[in-house]
A = this chain, B = another copy of it.
Amino acid sequence: MSKNLTSRAEDYSKWYNELVVKADLAENSAVRGCMVIKPYGYAIWEKMQAELDRMFKETGHQNAYFPLFVPKSLFEAEEKNAEGFAKECAVVTHYRLQNDPDNPGKLRVDPEAKLEEELVVRPTSEAIIWSTYKGWIQSYRDLPILINQWANVVRWEMRTRLFLRTAEFLWQEGHTAHETRSEALAEAQLMNQVYADFAENFMAIPVIQGVKTESERFAGAEETYCIEALMQDGKALQAGTSHFLGQNFAKAFDVKFTNNEGKLDYVWATSWGVSTRLVGALIMTHSDDKGLVLPPNLAPIQVVIVPIHKTDEQLKQIGDVAKNLITEFKSKGISCKYDDRTTQRPGAKFAQYELQGVPLRIAIGPKDLENKTVELARRDTLSKENVALDGLADKIDGLLKEIQDTLFKKALDFRNSHLTKVDTFEEFKTVLNSKTGFISAHWDGSPETEDKIKELTKATIRCVPLDQEKEAGACVFTGKPSVGRVLFAKAY
């Protein structure tokens, strides 16, 4: 397989798929719509998990684990208040395989081993968790409950793409229970802010915080907060959501508590989640035609050292230099790999690490040994320079921070230059068909208009920005009055 990728200009979608596979991030599996996350891709997810987990715990949350399966009847309870609930899910109906009497060597489902009640593989865990919380909550003293779960979930998607949309994916789902409306609302907002901070400071992805319109809201939510990012092809990607669920789930599962005035009331709820989809967002925000570009804060390997030698003696000397550097790097919390494989030429290694987005590459050759220098290459700018060994760790420490900032600023510039205010529907369509990106426009607030625009342009309302300016205007489609602009885009 050629190491060269299809260019983004030629075919963005093909570029993405090739990059994911060639950079060893993930691949399709023998199971329709399910992916194998390979070690390098999983290492990025682990770095995301570690940081998010830290942020969740810092804001008072604890982890727990709830069953993979949800009895069908619990979905029925939920169904009553969430009409639009997705029903495309994996259903377990039997609990045994047996040797097939008609086909030696084959297995079949044992028809005798039928479950009395079918079990759904969780597409999300509100139902099983709220049926559990019912047993945990009697009084206001039992509140708040601030729980997060790291888990796999399954949604039977018809069209799947590695990381972006897969039948099974990994995610975290927070599920909290509160005494009051305002406390639950504040929690939903706080967690959306946590997601925004994580996206911007760790993933170097600028995001717009907003709320979803009614038709884009999570079924059962009273308000869905979200962070919306812009990919390099001008399409938006919802990177995380945080739902204020009101008392809907408490009512569906009959979860009441005695408040501090001694009165019974339903509990207030939130839920919030991000998934392995974030890896897709990371790739599509920063990478280029040479491959992955990773922000240093999430790079499994921040610096790679490649020896360039002709003799074993040279390799030994370079190895000594590398060893010292790694010790120095380690003391500064910089992760470094020394690649002294002799089965690969330096050129092949350079290509591999470029493809895999390692932020900094150090090459050390015989000349460098003499001059006490190294060749230092930046992945993001593809620039190279000769640098003194002396003080290298400090320089690298600074460079990693600079790269992190540069990537964020570059993505922010791109996003800002692809956010266009339009005031007519002609303009709206022209922008969508040329540079795409976010379109900031007035909307009359009706689902009918929203649907019609979607039908005509494939653009949806990504969010009503939290920092929306109050500005009287006329809906870009109907001309009816509007109080402020919302953001439209084509989306993943």
- Residue numbers of A with Cβ under 8 A of B are 27, 29-31, 34-39, 42-43, 45-46, 62-72, 74-76, 79-80, 87-98, 105-107, 109-110, 118-121, 128, 131-132, 135, 141, 147, 151-152, 154, 156, 168, 170, 343
- CB pair A67–B36 under 8 Å, yes or no, is yes
Q: Which residue of B lies closest to A61 (CB)?
A: B39
- CB pair B30–A68 under 8 Å, yes or no, is no
Q: How far is the CB of A265 from chain B (nearest CB, A)?
A: 19
- CB pair B154–A31 under 8 Å, yes or no, is no
- CB pair A75–B97 under 8 Å, yes or no, is yes
Q: How far is the CB of A358 from chain B (nearest CB, A)?
A: 16
Alpha-carbon distance between A287 and B31 when the two chains are bound, in angstroms: 44
List B contacts of A79 (CB < 8 A). Answer: 105, 107
- CB pair A128–B31 under 8 Å, yes or no, is yes
Alpha-carbon distance between A65 and B109 when the two chains are bound, in angstroms: 27
Alpha-carbon distance between A75 and B76 when the two chains are bound, in angstroms: 33
Q: How far is the CB of A1 from chain B (nearest CB, A)?
A: 12
- CB pair A76–B107 under 8 Å, yes or no, is yes
Q: How far is the CB of A258 from chain B (nearest CB, A)?
A: 13
* Choice from B31, B68, B119 contacting A71 with Cβ under 8 Å: B31
- CB pair A63–B89 under 8 Å, yes or no, is no
- CB pair A74–B30 under 8 Å, yes or no, is yes
List B contacts of A89 (CB < 8 A). Answer: 95-97
Q: How far is the CB of A20 from chain B (nearest CB, A)?
A: 14
Alpha-carbon distance between A170 and B98 when the two chains are bound, in angstroms: 25
- CB pair B87–A36 under 8 Å, yes or no, is no
Q: How far is the CB of A75 from chain B (nearest CB, A)?
A: 6
Copies assembled: 2
- CB pair A71–B30 under 8 Å, yes or no, is yes
List B contacts of A36 (CB < 8 A). Answer: 64-67, 132
* Choice from B62, B97, B154, B168 contacting A91 with Cβ under 8 Å: B97
Alpha-carbon distance between A217 and B66 when the two chains are bound, in angstroms: 31
* Choice from B34, B92, B151, B343 contacting A121 with Cβ under 8 Å: B92
- CB pair A67–B97 under 8 Å, yes or no, is no
- CB pair A91–B94 under 8 Å, yes or no, is yes
* Choice from B68, B75, B168 contacting A154 with Cβ under 8 Å: B68
Alpha-carbon distance between A121 and B69 when the two chains are bound, in angstroms: 11
28 contacts between A and B (CB under 8 A): A27-B135, A29-B66, A29-B132, A30-B131, A31-B119, A34-B67, A36-B64, A36-B65, A36-B67, A37-B64, A37-B65, A38-B64, A39-B147, A42-B64, A43-B63, A67-B168, A68-B154, A75-B107, A76-B106, A79-B105, A79-B107, A80-B105, A88-B95, A91-B94, A93-B109, A97-B118, A97-B120, A152-B152
| Smallest CB-CB A-B distances: 10 pairs | A39-B62, A34-B67, A37-B65, A95-B156, A87-B97, A91-B94, A31-B67, A90-B92, A93-B93, A31-B69
Alpha-carbon distance between A180 and B402 when the two chains are bound, in angstroms: 46
List B contacts of A97 (CB < 8 A). Answer: 72, 75, 87, 89, 91, 118, 120
Alpha-carbon distance between A94 and B109 when the two chains are bound, in angstroms: 13
Q: How far is the CB of A110 from chain B (nearest CB, A)?
A: 8
- CB pair A29–B67 under 8 Å, yes or no, is yes
- CB pair A98–B87 under 8 Å, yes or no, is yes
* Choice from B91, B128, B141, B156 contacting A29 with Cβ under 8 Å: B128
Q: How far is the CB of A54 from chain B (nearest CB, A)?
A: 13
Q: Which residue of B lies closest to A26 (CB)?
A: B65
Q: Which residue of B lies closest to A91 (CB)?
A: B94
Q: Which of A45, A79, A97, A98 has the most CB of B within 10 A?
A: A97
- CB pair A68–B168 under 8 Å, yes or no, is yes
List B contacts of A67 (CB < 8 A). Answer: 29-31, 34-36, 168
- CB pair A96–B156 under 8 Å, yes or no, is yes
List B contacts of A76 (CB < 8 A). Answer: 105-107
* Choice from B69, B106, B119, B168 contacting A69 with Cβ under 8 Å: B168
Q: Which residue of B lies closest to A139 (CB)?
A: B343
Alpha-carbon distance between A120 and B87 when the two chains are bound, in angstroms: 20
Alpha-carbon distance between A66 and B152 when the two chains are bound, in angstroms: 11
Alpha-carbon distance between A180 and B131 when the two chains are bound, in angstroms: 51
Q: Which residue of B lies closest to A75 (CB)?
A: B107
- CB pair B35–A107 under 8 Å, yes or no, is no
